[in-house]
Chain A
Amino acid sequence: MSRSKNIAATKTITAPQIGDNISRQTLFWLLLTNLAVLSPLFDKTTPWTLGICAICLLWRIGIYVGKVAKPPRFLVTSLAVGAAITLALVSGQMGVLNALINLLILGYALKYIEMRNQRDVRAVVIVGYFLIALTFIDHQSMLSTVHLLAVTVVNTCVLVTLYQSKHRLRHTLWLGGKLLLQSVPLALLLFLVLPRFAPLWLVPNMKEAKTGLSDTLAIGDINKLTRSTELAFRASFTESTPRHTELYWRALVMEDYDGVTWRQENGIKKLQQDALIFPPSRPSPAQQVSTSTVDELRNKAEDNQAKTNRPKTQVYRYQIIAEPSHQPWLFGLDVAYSEDTAVVNLPDYRIFALRNLDQRMSYQLDSWPNATMDLILSPRQRDINLALPDNSNPRTLQLANQFKQTYPDAKQRLVAMMQYFNTEPFFYTLTPPMLGPQQVDDFLFENKAGFCVHYATALIFMARATGLPARMVTGYQGGEYNPKAGYLSVYQYMAHAWAEVWLENEGWVRFDPTAMVAPNRIELGFDAEFTPEDSYLKESPFSSLRFKSTPWLNELRQRFASIDYYWSVWVLGFNQERQNKVLNHILGDVTKTKVAVFMGLCLSLIGFYIAYSVGLFHRKRERDPISSRYQHICLRLAAHGITRQEGQGPNHFAEQIIKDYQHQAPNFCALFNALTQSYVALKYQNLPPKAYQQQLRQFNTTAKALNWRLIRPSNLLK
Chain B
Amino acid sequence: MKQLITRIWQRWLARRLPPNTEITLSHRSIFILPSGFGLIWLALVLLLFLFGTNYQNNLVIGLSILLLSLFNTCILYSYNNLAGLHLRASMPPEVYAGETITFPIQINSNHSSYHINLGYPNNHSYTLKQVGIDEVQALVPFEHGIRGLVTPGRLKIESFYPLGLCRTWSHVDLAITHLVYAKPIEAPLQLEATLDHLREQPPTVAGQHVAGIDEFKGLKPHVLGESLKQVAWKQWAQGRGMLSKEFEQPQGKPVWLILRPNPKQLETQLSQLSWQVNKLSQLEQHFGLWLHLPTGENIILSPAVGNSHRIACQKALALYPLNPQHPQAGAPPHSATANPPFYGNEFVEKHRQLTQSGSK
The residues of A with any CB-CB pair to B shorter than 8 Å are: 1-4, 6-7, 9-11, 13-16, 18-19, 122, 126, 129-130, 132-133, 136-137, 140, 145, 148, 152, 156, 159-160, 162-165, 175, 179-180, 182-184, 186-187, 190-191, 194, 196-203, 342, 358-359, 361, 571-574, 607, 610-611, 614-616, 619, 622
Q: A1-B186, A132-B63, A140-B59 are in contact. Are A13 and B76 (CB under 8 A)?
A: no
How many contacts A-B (CB < 8 Å)?
180
Q: A15-B126, A163-B164 are in contact. Are A180 and B114 (CB under 8 A)?
A: no
User: Are A196 and B139 closer than 8 Å at their CB atoms?
Assistant: no
Q: A611-B76, A615-B80 are in contact. Are A184 and B115 (CB under 8 A)?
A: no
B124 cross-chain contacts in A, Cβ below 8 A: 15, 18
Known: A2-B282, A129-B63, A162-B163. 5 other contacts (CB 8 A): A10-B95, A164-B114, A191-B61, A196-B53, A342-B56
B96 cross-chain contacts in A, Cβ below 8 A: 7
Q: Does B50 contact A (CB under 8 A)?
A: yes
Give the distance to chain B from A91, nearest Cβ to Cβ, in Å: 18
Residue of A2, A130, A163 with highest tally of chain B CB at under 10 A: A163
User: Are A18 and B65 closer than 8 Å at their CB atoms?
Assistant: no
User: Are B37 and A122 closer than 8 Å at their CB atoms?
Assistant: yes
Q: Does B211 contact A (CB under 8 A)?
A: no
User: Are B117 and A187 closer than 8 Å at their CB atoms?
Assistant: no
Nearest CB in chain B to that of A190: its residue: B65
User: Are B63 and A126 closer than 8 Å at their CB atoms?
Assistant: no
Closest 7 CB pairs of A and B: A183-B69, A165-B129, A187-B69, A186-B69, A10-B93, A136-B59, A165-B130
A74 to B208, CA, bound (A): 78
User: Are A179 and B141 closer than 8 Å at their CB atoms?
Assistant: no
A200 cross-chain contacts in B, Cβ below 8 A: 50, 53-54
User: Are B127 and A16 closer than 8 Å at their CB atoms?
Assistant: yes
26 A–B contacts from the bound complex (CB under 8 Å): A1-B186, A4-B310, A15-B124, A18-B117, A18-B124, A129-B48, A133-B63, A136-B60, A137-B55, A152-B66, A159-B162, A162-B164, A163-B163, A164-B161, A165-B115, A175-B162, A180-B66, A196-B61, A197-B53, A200-B54, A342-B56, A359-B55, A359-B56, A571-B59, A607-B76, A619-B84
A156 cross-chain contacts in B, Cβ below 8 A: 70, 163
The residues of B with any CB-CB pair to A shorter than 8 Å are: 37, 40-41, 44, 47-48, 50-70, 72-74, 76-77, 79-80, 83-84, 93-96, 99-100, 102, 110-111, 114-115, 117, 124-127, 129-130, 139-141, 160-164, 184, 186, 275, 278-279, 282, 307, 310
Give the distance to chain A from B63, nearest Cβ to Cβ, in Å: 5
A359 to B66, CA, bound (A): 21
B282 cross-chain contacts in A, Cβ below 8 A: 2
Nearest CB in chain B to that of A11: its residue: B99
Nearest CB in chain A to that of B111: its residue: A615
User: Are A184 and B66 closer than 8 Å at their CB atoms?
Assistant: yes
- Point out the residue from A6, A13, A198 that lies within 8 Å of B102, measured CB to CB: A13
A164 to B115, CA, bound (A): 7
A198 cross-chain contacts in B, Cβ below 8 A: 53
- Point out the residue from A6, A14, A183, A196 that lies within 8 Å of B70, measured CB to CB: A183
Nearest CB in chain B to that of A19: its residue: B127
Nearest CB in chain A to that of B41: its residue: A126
- Point out the residue from A13, A18, A194, A571 that lies within 8 Å of B127, measured CB to CB: A18
Nearest CB in chain A to that of B64: its residue: A133
Give the distance to chain B from A15, nearest Cβ to Cβ, in Å: 5
User: Are B160 and A622 closer than 8 Å at their CB atoms?
Assistant: no
A201 cross-chain contacts in B, Cβ below 8 A: 54
Give the distance to chain B from A212, nearest Cβ to Cβ, in Å: 20
Residue of B54, B70, B74 with highest tally of chain A CB at under 10 A: B70
A194 cross-chain contacts in B, Cβ below 8 A: 61, 65
Residue of B40, B65, B310 with highest tally of chain A CB at under 10 A: B65
User: Are B54 and A203 closer than 8 Å at their CB atoms?
Assistant: yes
User: Are B65 and A191 closer than 8 Å at their CB atoms?
Assistant: yes
B117 cross-chain contacts in A, Cβ below 8 A: 18
Give the distance to chain B from A320, nearest Cβ to Cβ, in Å: 15
A16 to B57, CA, bound (A): 47
User: Are A180 and B70 closer than 8 Å at their CB atoms?
Assistant: yes
User: Are B73 and A137 closer than 8 Å at their CB atoms?
Assistant: no
Q: A19-B127, A616-B83 are in contact. Are A122 and B69 (CB under 8 A)?
A: no
A136 to B62, CA, bound (A): 10
A156 to B84, CA, bound (A): 26
A358 to B93, CA, bound (A): 70
Nearest CB in chain A to that of B71: its residue: A183
A164 to B127, CA, bound (A): 12
Q: A15-B139, A159-B163, A165-B115 are in contact. Are A152 and B63 (CB under 8 A)?
A: yes
User: Are A18 and B162 closer than 8 Å at their CB atoms?
Assistant: no
Give the distance to chain A from B229, nearest Cβ to Cβ, in Å: 15
- Point out the residue from A6, A19, A140, A342 that lies within 8 Å of B57, measured CB to CB: A140
A11 to B310, CA, bound (A): 19
A233 to B53, CA, bound (A): 23
User: Are B99 and A163 closer than 8 Å at their CB atoms?
Assistant: no
A164 to B116, CA, bound (A): 11
Q: A15-B125, A159-B164, A199-B53 are in contact. Are A182 and B115 (CB under 8 A)?
A: no
B84 cross-chain contacts in A, Cβ below 8 A: 619
A374 to B52, CA, bound (A): 40
B50 cross-chain contacts in A, Cβ below 8 A: 200
User: Are A4 and B307 closer than 8 Å at their CB atoms?
Assistant: yes
- Point out the residue from B65, B68, B73 that lies within 8 Å of A179, measured CB to CB: B73
User: Are A126 and B130 closer than 8 Å at their CB atoms?
Assistant: no
A619 to B26, CA, bound (A): 12
A19 cross-chain contacts in B, Cβ below 8 A: 127
Give the distance to chain A from B52, nearest Cβ to Cβ, in Å: 7
A615 to B83, CA, bound (A): 10
Residue of A15, A194, A610 with highest tally of chain B CB at under 10 A: A15
B77 cross-chain contacts in A, Cβ below 8 A: 179, 614
Residue of B63, B93, B114, B310 with highest tally of chain A CB at under 10 A: B63
A145 cross-chain contacts in B, Cβ below 8 A: 59
Give the distance to chain A from B164, nearest Cβ to Cβ, in Å: 6
Give the distance to chain A from B73, nearest Cβ to Cβ, in Å: 5
Nearest CB in chain B to that of A162: its residue: B164
A184 cross-chain contacts in B, Cβ below 8 A: 66, 69
